[in-house]
């Protein structure tokens, strides 16, 4: 397995091998699914839409609906106006969404299709029914990563829709980041306990985690409503989780509607969740209820109980930058040693931030933005680690190097339930500890000499 990978690293300037990222449009599609009644639309060849829907479906095991402009050679030459206009007419006639959220692809970006003009023309021609919303974002695949695409779609949604009436509401905006529906539910649960009225954008809970009851609705109950997105301009503050996925949208809202923005990291792990709760406390001027402190104390209790199994363990972490940053912080909280820290998404901020987090941890880590899993594997071959944390694409390295893999982030394609259990909040932190400790102990139980195989540990 991965027999072509040798320990010695060489400089590569052109060849990406085993990426730790994918392209912008899939992130935009995912973000658009977090708008209520929204049909994401991929403006390009139909392969893009097909690949994105397939991959999101493999992770969420839920219907993922999106349409495409189905470009052919003719549209590639003459532009996508006709295709997008026809698409809009068909989408509203057949599927009748409240919102169509268009994202571009590398093809339509290179052609240079002017989406707002096409939308306007379609509206003028009556192809977009009265009262329906059409928004767009530019997601050139040759810039950034899927996280950039996600951020672009959230930012554009705000740009198109958020309004300020001048009457500030009692609601707090939360831009939660590129999270699973279970994470969104957990954030909403925490906000509920804190007694804070909130608007989350995007909100894929109730869209990509629906039950099986014999019915199918193309536009399920979940998702942030257009009405709520509009009123985000009147909220008293915004908390944005994640530099790469969420901060741009909060900045947009601050500039557009003067809503004060708090820039946080993902509420994953102890410190991340503490900062989130504390920020909500400060913005909403509330006292923290006992229930939250009890939850937190249970996590601390677990950290104390199991500290011995995690302390000093070396870890390779790969994935999306906001997730990796938050996870690195949590590993430091647990006195573990992040040894290799990689994201495929480009951005110098990543390396700076990881260096800050690791500064006093005693961990001498190799950190890389715009990196890939091939190089990560080479480093592991040079000096192994105790655990790998990342998405399913790390499973080959984990198997061939006999290192447990903690599945974390997007996408998880080979296990069924990760999407259902949050990694955010104190609850999520407990689950992460559970997975890490079990992985360490399972390996020990499987491999230790018989005299060290113990019943109680």
Partner 1 sequence: MSEFEIKTVTGEAITAQALKEEMLKIYPAKTKRKREKQILSNDPENTPEIGANSRTIPGIITQRGCTYAGCKGVVLGPIHDIVHITHGPIGCAFYSWLSRRNLAKPVNKGDTNYLQYCMSTDMQEEEIVFGGEKKLAQACREAYALFKPRAIAIYSTCPVGLIGDDVHAVARKMSEELGINVCGFSCEGYKGVSQSAGHHIANNGVFKHMVGKLDMEQTNPFSINVLGEYNIGGDAWEIDTLLRKCGIHVVSTLSGDVNYDQVCSSHTANLNVVMCHRSINYMAQMMETKFGIPWFKVNFIGAAATAKSLRKIGQFFGDKGLIDRIEEVIAAEMAALAPIQKDVTSRTKGKKVALFVGGSRAHHYQDLFSDIGMETISAGYEFAHRDDYEGRAVLPTIKVDADSRNIEEIHVEADPQRYNPRKSPEQIAALEAGGFTFRDYDGMMKQMKKNSLVIDDISHHEMEKLIAVCKPDVICSGIKDKFVIEKLGVPCKQLHSYDYGGPYAAFTGAANFYKEIDRLTTTKVWKFVIPPWKQSPELQASMVFGKAHAEDLTPKRSMKANKSAEPAEEA
CA 174 to CA 386: how far, in whole Å?
35
* Min dist. Cβ of residue 218 to partner 1 (A): 8
- The residues, any chain, with a CB within 8 Å of residue 434's CB and separated by 6 or more, are none
- Exposed e or buried b for every residue in 172-193, given b needs 16+ CB within 10 A? bbbbbbbbbbbbbbbbbebbee
Length of the chain in residues, anyone?
A: 457
Known catalytic membership, residue 324: no
- Exposed e or buried b for every residue in 131-149, given b needs 16+ CB within 10 A? ebbbbbbbbbbeebbbbbb
Phi, psi of 173 (to 5 degrees): -80, 135
**Looking at 31, 64, 229, 315, which residue binds partner 1 (CB under 8 A)?**
64
Binding mask 338-367 for partner 1 (x = CB under 8 A): ------x-----------------------
**Looking at 32, 33, 38, 88, which residue binds partner 1 (CB under 8 A)?**
88
**Looking at 126, 131, 166, 214, which residue binds partner 1 (CB under 8 A)?**
214
C-alpha count within 13 angstroms, C-beta hemisphere, residue 197 = 10
49 vs 184, beta carbon nearer partner 1: 49
Q: Is 90 in the site for partner 1 (CB under 8 A)?
A: yes
Binding mask 125-164 for partner 1 (x = CB under 8 A): ---------------xxxx-x-------------------
What is the chain's alpha carbon radius of gyration, rounded to the nearest angstrom?
23
Binding mask 271-310 for partner 1 (x = CB under 8 A): ----------------------------------------
Q: Which tokens sit at 350?
A: 């990543």
Known catalytic membership, residue 23: no
Q: Is 382 in the site for partner 1 (CB under 8 A)?
A: no
Q: Is 10 in the site for partner 1 (CB under 8 A)?
A: yes
CA 308 to the chain's CA centroid: 31
CA 452 to CA 180: how far, in whole Å?
40
Measure Cα distances from 453 to 131, 306, 309, 310, 409 in Å.
67, 18, 15, 19, 33
52 vs 275, beta carbon nearer partner 1: 52
242 vs 344, beta carbon nearer partner 1: 344
Q: Which of the ranges 82-90, 239-247, 295-303, 443-451 carries the binding residues for partner 1, by CB under 8 A?
A: 82-90
62 vs 274, beta carbon nearer partner 1: 62
* Min dist. Cβ of residue 108 to partner 1 (A): 9
Residues 92-111 that bind partner 1 (CB under 8 A): 93-95, 105-107, 109-111
Measure Cα distances from 155 to 168, 221, 226 in Å.
21, 23, 14
CA 185 to CA 423: how far, in whole Å?
11
CA 25 to CA 170: how far, in whole Å?
34
Q: Which of the ranges 49-57, 291-299, 330-338, 355-363 carries the binding residues for partner 1, by CB under 8 A?
A: 49-57
Q: Is 420 in the site for partner 1 (CB under 8 A)?
A: no
Measure Cα distances from 101 to 18, 119, 317 in Å.
30, 11, 33
* Min dist. Cβ of residue 244 to partner 1 (A): 16
* Number of residues this chain uses to bind partner 1 (CB under 8 A): 81
CA 67 to CA 28: how far, in whole Å?
13
* Min dist. Cβ of residue 375 to partner 1 (A): 11
Identified catalytic residue from 23, 38, 106, 207: 106
Q: Which of the ranges 40-48, 175-183, 249-257, 352-360 carries the binding residues for partner 1, by CB under 8 A?
A: 40-48
Q: Is 215 in the site for partner 1 (CB under 8 A)?
A: yes
Q: Which of the ranges 41-49, 193-201, 287-295, 431-439 carries the binding residues for partner 1, by CB under 8 A?
A: 41-49
Crossing angle of the two packed helices 247-257 and 146-161, in degrees rounded to 10:
20
Catalytic residues: 106, 110
């Amino acid at each position: 397995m991965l027999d072509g990978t040798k320990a010695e690293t060489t400089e590569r300037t052109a060849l990406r091998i085993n990426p730790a990222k994918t392209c912008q449009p899939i992130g935009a599609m995912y973000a658009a699914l977090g708008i209520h009644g929204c049909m994401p639309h991929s403006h390009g060849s139909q392969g893009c839409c097909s690949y994105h829907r397939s991959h999101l479906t493999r992770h969420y095991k839920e219907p993922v609906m999106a349409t495409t402009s189905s470009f052919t050679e003719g549209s590639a030459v003459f532009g996508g106006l006709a295709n997008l206009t026809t698409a809009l007419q068909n989408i509203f006639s057949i599927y009748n969404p409240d919102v169509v959220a268009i994202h571009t692809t590398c093809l339509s970006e290179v052609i240079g299709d002017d989406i707002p003009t096409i939308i306007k023309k379609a509206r003028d021609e009556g192809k977009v029914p009265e009262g329906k919303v059409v928004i767009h974002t530019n997601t050139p695949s040759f810039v950034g990563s899927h996280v950039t695409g996600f951020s672009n779609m959230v930012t554009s949604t705000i740009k198109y829709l958020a309004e300020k009436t001048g009457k500030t509401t009692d609601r707090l905006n939360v831009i939660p980041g590129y999270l699973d529906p279970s994470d969104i539910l957990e954030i909403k649960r925490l906000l509920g306990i804190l007694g804070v009225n909130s608007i989350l954008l995007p909100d894929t809970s109730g869209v990509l985690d629906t039950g099986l009851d014999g019915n199918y609705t193309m536009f399920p109950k979940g998702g942030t409503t257009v009405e709520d997105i509009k009123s985000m301009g009147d909220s008293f503050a915004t908390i944005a989780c994640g530099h790469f996925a969420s901060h741009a949208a909060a900045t947009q809202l601050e500039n557009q509607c003067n809503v004060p923005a708090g820039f946080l990291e993902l509420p994953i792990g102890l410190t991340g969740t503490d900062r989130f709760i504390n920020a909500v406390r400060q913005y909403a001027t509330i006292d923290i209820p006992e229930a939250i402190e009890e939850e937190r104390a249970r996590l601390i209790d677990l950290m104390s109980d199991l500290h011995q199994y995690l302390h000093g363990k070396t870890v390779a972490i790969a994935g999306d930058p906001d997730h990796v940053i938050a996870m690195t912080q949590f590993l430091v909280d647990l006195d573990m040693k992040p040894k290799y820290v990689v994201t495929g998404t480009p951005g110098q901020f990543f390396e700076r931030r990881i260096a800050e987090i690791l500064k006093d941890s005693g961990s001498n880590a190799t950190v890389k933005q715009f990196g890939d899993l091939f190089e990560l594997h080479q480093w592991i071959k040079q000096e192994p680690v105790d655990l790998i944390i990342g998405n399913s694409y790390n499973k080959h390295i984990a198997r061939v190097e006999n290192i447990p893999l903690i599945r974390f982030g997007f996408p998880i394609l080979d296990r069924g339930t990760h999407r259902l259990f949050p990694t955010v909040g104190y609850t999520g932190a407990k689950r992460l500890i559970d997975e890490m400790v079990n992985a360490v102990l399972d390996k020990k139980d499987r491999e230790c000499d018989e005299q060290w195989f113990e019943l109680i540990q």
